[in-house]
Amino acid sequence: MSDRSSDLAALPAAHRNLPVAARNRARTATMALFFIAGMVYASWGVHVPTVRDRFHLNPALLSVALLAVAVGSITAMATNASWIARVGSRRACLTGGLVMSVCGALILVVPSYWLLLIVLMIFGAGMATLDVAMNAEASAVEIALGRPIMSSLHGMFSVGGMAGAAIGGALLARGMAPAVHLALASAISALVLLAACPSVLPHVPHAEHPDAHAPRANRWRSPALWALGIFALIALIAEGAMYDWATVYMRDVVLATPAVASAAYAAFSGGMAAARFAGDAVRARFGAPQLIMASASLACVGMIAALLLPNPVIAMAGFTLMGIGLANMMPVLFAAAARVEGIHAAEGLAHVAGLAYFGMLLGPVIIGGVAQATNLTIGLSVVALCAALLAVTGPRMLRRLKI
């Protein structure tokens, strides 16, 4: 983090002159945006089996439907960044969030599979637009407050995800129709968006920004953004692999019961959520390079323990350490991407987030390919290797970028 005076000097007058209460309201509003983004994404995730059954999809067609969300997200990240920079995070959050909410409500009511694919692509695009815009807003609020807050905001996304999954499961168990549940989650999301967005920091036209006359760099030619993006890709290869393969490892290698296998996934997610709420204090006290080194080292140790000692208790403890270790990777990288000199925050975030998303998609595939050729234990050793690489190279990269 840069010092308080230089951060304030980098703020436009419209933000610098805001009272502290307005900046705190902006933080609360941004927390709400992260929460509903996690809630809606989890609510959709709960209904993947419902989509399969409603449209009578085989595994290949279901994979295409899931891919449609990814295609929409990556396309939006590649094309919407300059628009977000032009209109501001307030308008972009509202637009992206409302598109996400409307499409979420339509997923289980469209009459055909092909319309479903279109809705899922637009759903992914809205979700990605909200993602980039709310992270750009988070970076601006972080600078305005003069202290790290990015990790706790990502923690709110995790809490929203857990709440969305838990509440959705409870409502469905009580007999609520799946389409009604998705419509309810989407309506709550829309209402929160409408209530929160007026408190988001006001948009500052580029001509009024302190660095308006500085030369603007092309994000596709920025070595700093490519370095951050590749680092994010490696981090999400590990994270994506954990989401998709942790339960399989517990069932097939550790020979755990289904309940214990599910608990291991919950341990990973819980460790991640808890560590995000602690990450801001650690970054403020020790700095981003030290946080990344300690986090990645912890993740590596946890994964190695889970692989070398396939005991249910040890594996669950190892997966918890993995969650703790991976928790603050993306918050730190997003905060860094929003501060790359000469690049608008939204464009930097879109670049790094797009590469990270490829990592999330690649991770499960890479582990599956290695496991097919060898076994799942060796396949998941790729995760430990990724964590070790992050621990060795990450701090050096952040120091070189002066972040």
Q: Is the pLDDT of residue 218 over 80?
A: no
Question: Looking at residues 164-173, what average pLDDT do you find?
Answer: 82
pTM metric for this prediction: 0.81
* Helix, strand or coil, per DSSP, at residue 253: coil
Q: Which of 179-193, 241-255, 315-329, 371-385 has the lowest mean pLDDT?
A: 241-255
**How far apart, in whole angstroms, are the C-alpha atoms of residue 148 and residue 226?**
23
Question: Looking at residues 251-270, what average pLDDT do you find?
Answer: 78
Residue 1 has a pLDDT of: 43
Q: Percent of the chain scored above 70 by pLDDT?
A: 90
Q: Is the pLDDT of residue 373 over 90?
A: no
For the chain, give every domain's residue range: 4-204, 219-400
34: amino acid identity, one letter? F
Q: Is the pLDDT of residue 207 over 50?
A: no
* Helix, strand or coil, per DSSP, at residue 166: helix
Homologous superfamily of 4-204: MFS general substrate transporter like domains (1.20.1250.20)
Q: What is the pLDDT of residues 43-101, one digit of tens each?
A: 887 788 788 889 998 877 887 888 888 889 889 988 888 888 888 888 999 999 999 99
**How far apart, in whole angstroms, are the C-alpha atoms of residue 306 and residue 312?**
9
Taking phi over 0 as left and psi of -120 to 50 as alpha, with beta for the rest, 215 belongs to beta
Domain range 219-400, CATH class: mainly alpha
Residue 216 has a pLDDT of: 57
Is residue 11 very low, low, confident or very high in pLDDT (cuts 50, 70, 90)?
low
User: Cβ distance 402 to 289 under 8 Å?
Assistant: no
Q: Is the pLDDT of residue 6 over 60?
A: no
User: Cβ distance 376 to 111 under 8 Å?
Assistant: no
Residue 391 tokens, joined: 């621990």
* Helix, strand or coil, per DSSP, at residue 71: helix
